[in-house]
Chain A
């Protein structure tokens, strides 16, 4: 390639020597062009060497091949199978050490273009699947254990049903492939595909599948959306109804707080998992920096909050019976939650809610 270029330049210079003498700046342009050409030649040689190192054609012996074959059957590429057969996978490390990612800035253009060919071989699907097990859970796209209260969009997308659409796509692809192999022109294919779409959707079974999927998906979206907003409402009420405590003076422990409400401690004391009694909501409410925001929240949501205490006070009437029936342990065991709730003052009730939320968040049982 370089020889050809030199010959061409020689001829050009010979022919246009008179013109070049008049315009000396052209010499520098030619010089530049030559310089880049030489660089390109060098880079090509390097590239060939490196390629031979990484992906190059290392001839495997028959023993090696026999060891590699089971991995190749699973879908691994040759290099991967070679590395796996040796018992340890170093391939990626080796490549990543020697390989520098090309960037358009601060690099010669020719070397940048050539280095694109130097990309290490893409990992096979089998390798990617094998690596997925070692992936941290937060990087996995569809984890089925996602809590819809926190992430409704991700939770729904894990459970959506798209079977009918998938079936349509695969059917259409097969139809198109058949048409292409039969040698039809593009316009004919377009026509035929449009007719196929009509036919497919005119079939009542297919259409029922489409509509059924849509119904299921909207239901799932609605449910998860509701769960998410209910959680928000709960937390809002917890923040607005929280006792504002000065954080410097608050020294009550989790056990004391629960005993205040009427709870009892387990034998192993660590089971509460709370060092200091202050829920996140209470901490948020008692922070002076959030005062402005909480006032705004109260303005928006207070009318709803005022209605709720009346609803709680209403079932206080049966509370009079409880102290008299002191010995009835079986009845208390049958409905322990209700009895505790009824006997509490509104302040204690809110505290109980905080404890419940803490327990739920921390996963304490």
Chain B
């Protein structure tokens, strides 16, 4: 196959005459610079000095790498248990911490200058942009009738661009879009598996699935992980633009990170961190747990692919979609309340008689009784 030049491809794909005239007159280098620049901006890949320093720490310390893995699994389990208790606000708080560390991983490993961890860390996860799109589906004002009210008209709906993992909300409740099905406008690019809620259980750190403890019972309070005390773990530090960075910031960061190491990494301190694998006595979670968002109604991919081919929805289809969203919202509210009451009953029961851990001998006896009873 003969390889087309970049310019030819762009000329073939551009729709407007303005763009075509610009492309035909400009050099290939300038066009490619424009394109690459926009791509880099869209990925937020402009890491600052502090993140680079953290990358060098990760390259040297295995304990810090384990902490990174544990941090995500800590918040993912609490996210799961909070959802089970019907507490969406708490779940949102934990989800924001998961997103923060994934954002940090992106900044560390996918920078324009290469991998800052020296190849010691890598993360893989499903991009949450298709789910985030659900936030911006409100139509524009009613007086703007010229653009039409069809929901497949991108001008009337897509006001802002999605940011994915790098998104920061002051209101943690907004993260509840993770529990919805992905937006239909991404139907072309979505995998057939990812039509339910955002697959948090598919996060992999160093080819190891994140450990989500399904038996964890939510305490109802926001529990932080030791790594959250690290100076890097805030959105303002990770996403600080390079042009606003002062040398005092870097100096302060280095001092704080050394203090963190004194408390959690050095063997002299009492708070010394034990990785999750050491506590469990084995390598945790090499197998993924079941779906966390198993309750969300999946997106009908085939239907939406047909609609996008046809160009617009029929009246029946739009009515059905509206009905379904209404029914989903009502179901959510009901199930949340049921979960909350169940969780409170369970908590009072646990407070009155705390759970007794079963010894291995008892367990064997119980199993034997079960087997004999069946026969």
Contacts and interface: CB of A to CB of B under 8 A. Distances in A.
Interface of A: 136-138, 141, 146-147, 150-154, 156-157, 160, 162, 165, 168-169, 172-173, 176, 186-187, 190-191, 193-194, 197-198, 201, 207, 210-211, 213-215, 217-218, 221-222, 225, 280, 283-284, 287, 362
B112 A154 contact: yes
Contacts of B266: 191, 194
B49 interface: yes
B254 A169 contact: no
Nearest to B27: A363
A169 B56 contact: yes
Contacts of A156: 242
B57 A218 contact: no
Contact of A138 (B6, B112, B262): B6
A197 B258 contact: yes
A194 B37 contact: no
B21 interface: yes
Given A222-B243, A283-B21, A162 B60 contact: no
Contact of B251 (A136, A165, A211, A280): A211
A270 B142 CA distance: 55
Interface residues of B, number: 47
B289 interface: no
Contacts of A362: 25
26 contacts: A137-B29, A138-B6, A138-B29, A138-B31, A147-B30, A150-B30, A151-B34, A151-B36, A153-B41, A154-B36, A157-B113, A162-B113, A165-B53, A172-B60, A173-B59, A176-B60, A191-B267, A193-B61, A194-B261, A197-B258, A198-B258, A207-B251, A214-B49, A214-B247, A225-B243, A284-B18
Nearest to B30: A150
A146 B56 contact: no
B235 interface: no
A217 B241 CA distance: 12
Nearest to A162: B52
Given A150-B37, A154-B37, A186 B247 contact: no
Given A154-B36, A194-B261, A211-B251, A218 B245 contact: yes
B29 A221 contact: no
B28 A213 contact: no
Q: Is the interface of A mostly helix, strand, loop or mixed?
A: helix
Interface string B5-46: 010000000000010011001001111111011001100001
Given A151-B36, A218-B242, A283-B21, A165 B56 contact: yes
Contact of B112 (A137, A153, A194): A153
Contacts of A210: 250-251, 254
Given A197-B261, A210-B250, A225-B243, A157 B112 contact: yes
Given A157-B112, A157-B113, A165-B52, A186 B34 contact: no
Given A169-B59, A225-B243, A153 B40 contact: yes
B62 interface: yes
B263 to A, nearest CB: 11
B265 interface: yes
B33 A138 contact: yes
Contacts of A169: 56, 59, 118
Contacts of A165: 52-53, 56
Given A197-B258, A217-B242, A218-B245, A153 B46 contact: yes
B236 interface: no
A151 B243 contact: no
Interface in B126-180: none
B22 A190 contact: no
Given A191-B265, A218-B244, 6 more contacts: A137-B28, A138-B36, A154-B33, A162-B52, A190-B62, A194-B265
B63 interface: yes
A150 B37 CA distance: 8
Contacts of A157: 112-113
B265 A172 contact: no
Contact of B37 (A151, A173, A186, A280): A151
A150 B250 contact: no
A206 to B, nearest CB: 10
A362 B27 CA distance: 9
B246 interface: yes
Contacts of A151: 33-34, 36-37
Contacts of B6: 138
A221 B63 contact: no
Given A153-B46, A169-B118, A146 B63 contact: no
Interface string B223-262: 0000000000000000001111111011100100010011
A190 B63 contact: yes
B35 to A, nearest CB: 9
Interface string B52-87: 110011011111000000000000000000000000
Nearest to A224: B243
Contacts of A280: 21-22
A193 B62 CA distance: 10
Contacts of B34: 150-151
A215 to B, nearest CB: 5
A222 B243 CA distance: 5
Contact of A150 (B25, B33, B40): B33
A137 B36 CA distance: 13
Nearest to A284: B18
Contacts of A176: 60
Contact of B40 (A154, A172, A198, A211): A154
B122 to A, nearest CB: 18
Given A138-B29, A150-B30, A190 B61 contact: yes
A152 B38 CA distance: 11
A169 B54 CA distance: 11
B309 to A, nearest CB: 22
Instruction: Kindly list the 10 A-B residue pairs having the minimum CB-CB distance in the complex, ordered from nearest.
Output: A138-B32, A151-B33, A221-B243, A221-B242, A151-B37, A211-B247, A214-B250, A222-B243, A172-B60, A194-B261
Nearest to B52: A165
Nearest to B254: A201
A210 B250 CA distance: 8
A169 B63 CA distance: 17
Nearest to A226: B243
Interface in B73-132: 112-113, 118
